[in-house]
Amino acid sequence: MSSPALHIVKPNIVVPLGSSADTPIKVTIESSTLLQLIETIYENNDSTPTQTRTVGTLLGTRSDDGSNIEVKECYIVPHKEEDEELTIEEAFHISAFHLYKRANQELQVIGWFSTSPELDAYTGLFHEFYAKGSCAPYQPVLLTLQYRDNDSGEIISPIVKTYISSPVGLPPNSGIVRKLNLEKIGSYAFVPIPNEVTYSKNELTTLKYLSEASKKEDRSFDLKGLDELKQMSSTVNQISDLIKILQDYTERAAKGEIEGDNRIGQLLLSNLNYKLSEVDVDDFKKDFETHVNDTMLLQYLASCIKQQLDLSAKLTNFITPEDAVAD
Amino acid sequence: MPEQENDHNSSLTVQINASVALKLAKIGEDHYPGTSSGPIYGFDEKESSVINISHIMSFPGQHTSGDDVFNTRSSNVKFQNDFLSKLRESKIGAKLLGWYVTCTNGKHIRQTVIESVLHLQENNRKENADNTPVLILVYDPSKALDSLLSLKVLKLSDAFLNTWNSEARFVARNLIDNRLSYKNIFEEVPAEIKNSHLTNLKVQELDLSNTYGDDLELNSNYLKSTVQNVEQLTEAIDNFNHNLGNFNYFQRSLSREVTKVNQWKLRTKQENIDKLKADPSATVTEPDWKTQFKLPQVPSKYENLVASGLVNSYSTNLEVAGSVEHGKTSGVKESLDL
């Protein structure tokens, strides 16, 4: 197959035409979107040989200068690879994008993803589709997922890579191209750019349980008995373990057995700078007592309401008016 | 509903894909302190009675302040159908399983939610002979800020469905027969979050302990969530009282009417006896009281039930949050020797 794409995977090549203003430099992926992306690998159920990969659109936001990109949503776009022809369902891509945009106004098409880590002929064609289509005038970002080892073909933890591209070869309107009647489609040099996974606070809380599940044989976490008090007690245990480790560490560092890390020292210093003399213990005690009492009062009132409710439910006897007369 | 199906439903478990659980956390956080809702999609395996939730999407136009959490306006219905057809076009075998709601725990106990569930369930049954219960996924984002996960999968209880489908519906005897109270309108479905193999590998690789940042500041969301909870509780109680007021009014006017009916009955009886005394061969008729009197409209017990359920769940929230806070403060108190 004659490949119209040029594969140069080196970050140090000079980007010939990419205007520096709209060139993304950094890509951040929300952890929830990352998992969605990974799960798309399973969703390529097509057994026909017309698909060697699952591809789809990445939605997200771009910073004003286009240098930072956040990936927030993704969806699969059906396509067909036949001989050297590539069919992408553009109508699907557009209408799906509009659906997402309705739910979240700020979303833009920022690029595409592929479950094939290889940059081949089709990659260029896909890229062209996004570059000339919904991404213009910005450059699309390509995100690839690799879940098989290159050599052994074994399943590995998915590797996420992001690329930007620049067109290679002669500018399409140059005289030579016209003279030679060269067709120039999908020729890109892909340059890897760094990406980072971000976690929001809520995501972290859920991730904590996902990670717990990941250590188990059945890879699942049972939501039954997910009681707040139990959760708290396990968190408190974790904290006290951490404190023990820290204590042990600082003691050994103080004794000179190990060399202390300056960063940890600074962190402790800046966070534990309570001057005891400034805290009036009696006032603190009083405030604390008040808070405990408030909490208890609230609990008491809540249980009163529940009792009232129970009573009311028993006393509120709903009968049909006809029955009332019959009695 | 035949017995067999109840058995089938009781052994039901729900699997939530890791990505859905995480996305839900994100959506909830983005809309917090408001609420959000949207359709959930997935598939069910009839043989193993496992329902898998694989996709989630939020509705456009969320209610961020209003008193309702949920809305199946026609535009949202169209939206959820459009999204489903997109999933199917990309060869993902999925169907609409229900909805998610991110809100303070228990806020989902609403007539709109209940009726949407009933509607979809009915539709599924009629069109596809599908008896799988419609699910409601409830996530409380306020808890997550305190590192607690509050995620539940609910369905309408059989007690509620039986009452709803019965002829007499929400009258006292029927409620007792079906063991329905405001506490069990919804019931929890056993559920688990499931990592796929690849997610599992990736999650193990993520270094979560490193992401907490550089400050060790202690901040609790207890105050904020309690204030919100109390506000919602007050609102729910107002609503409940309004409902109860209607009921009291009904009872008063009913008892007035009943006395009138009974007096009228006595009078006609007396008249008949008098007539018979005067002329034993006279024909007497006992006219139906229903033609003479119109009894007041009975207020809906269903509304009362839902309102009670809401008050109950808010109160429970306060109790739970209180006991967690209590646990924390006692710990601090002990260790500081106050």
What is the average pLDDT across B44-48?
Answer: 77
| 3-state SS assignment for residue B301 | helix
Q: Given pLDDT bands bounded at 50, 70 and 90, which one contains residue B213?
A: low
Report the C-alpha gap between B222 and B18 in whole angstroms. 27
* List of chain A residues whose C-beta atoms are within 8 Å of the C-beta of residue B11: none
The continuous run of DSSP H or E covering B155 comes out as strand B151-156
Residue B21 tokens, joined: 């659980």
pLDDT digits (tens, 9 = 90+) for B173-189: 777 778 888 888 999 99
Alpha carbon distance A125, B192 (integer Å): 41
Tell me which CATH code domain A20-202 carries. Answer: 3.40.140.10
Contact state of B312 with A92 under an 8 Å Cβ cutoff: no
Minimal-distance CA residue of chain A relative to B263: A325
Q: Which residues of A touch B197 (CB under 8 A)?
A: 155, 219
Q: Which residues from A are below 8 Å from B188, CB to CB?
A: 224
- The answer to whether A302 contacts B318, with C-beta atoms less than 8 Å apart, is yes
- Residues 164-203, chain A: which have Cβ within 8 Å of B? 197, 199-203
Average pLDDT over residues B208-221: 63
**Interacting residues of B164 by C-beta distance below 8 A, sequence separation 6+:** B118
Q: What is the structure's pLDDT at B10?
A: 57
Q: pLDDT value at position B215?
A: 57
Task: Enumerate residues 70 to 129 of chain B having a beta carbon within 8 A of any beta carbon in chain A.
Answer: 79, 82-83, 86, 89-93
Residue B110 has pLDDT above 70, yes or no: yes
Residue among A43, A202, A325 whose CB faces B25 most closely: A202
- Looking at the DSSP bridge assignments, the partners of residue A221 are B193
- What are the structure tokens assigned to B254, written together? 């009913």
Q: Do B86 and A96 touch (CB under 8 A)?
A: yes
d(CA A168, CA A187): 6
Do the Cβ atoms of B193 and A207 come within 8 Å? no
Identify the closest residue of chain B to A159 by CA–CA distance: B202
State the pLDDT at residue A143: 92
Q: Is A87 on the interface with B (CB under 8 A)?
A: no
Say if the Cβ atoms of B86 and A99 lie within 8 Å.
Answer: yes
Minimum mean pLDDT range among A16-25, A177-186, A213-222, B185-194 = A16-25
Q: Check: CB of residue A25 under 8 Å from CB of residue A201.
A: no
What mean pLDDT do residues A55-82 have?
A: 87
Q: What's the ipTM?
A: 0.81
Helices (H) and strands (E) in chain A, counts: 9, 11
Give the position of tokens 């659906």.
Answer: A99
A220 interface with B at CB cutoff 8 Å: yes
Nearest to B324 among A201, A210, A228 (CB): A228
Q: How far is A178 from chain B (nearest CA, A)?
A: 39
Can you tell me the mean pLDDT for B270-295?
79
Instruction: Examine the pLDDT at A291 and tell me if it is beyond 80.
Output: yes
Q: Do residue B322 and residue A298 have CB atoms under 8 angstroms apart?
A: yes
Check whether B278 has a pLDDT greater than 50. yes
Confidence of residue A48 (pLDDT cuts 50, 70, 90): low
Q: Quick one: pLDDT at residue B41? A: 93
Q: Do B203 and A211 touch (CB under 8 A)?
A: yes
* pLDDT exceeds cutoff 60 at A184: no
pLDDT value at position A10?
Answer: 41
* Residue B49 DSSP label: T
Do the Cβ atoms of B149 and A226 come within 8 Å? yes
pLDDT at B304: 87
Distance from CA of B320 to the nearest CA of A (A): 7
A294-303 pLDDT, tens digit each: 999 999 999 9
Rounded to an integer, the average pLDDT of A103-121 is 87
The residue extents of the domains of chain A are: 20-202, 234-273, 274-316
A43-75 in b/e form (b: 16+ CB < 10 A) is: bbeeeeeebebbbbbbbbebeeebeebbbbbbb
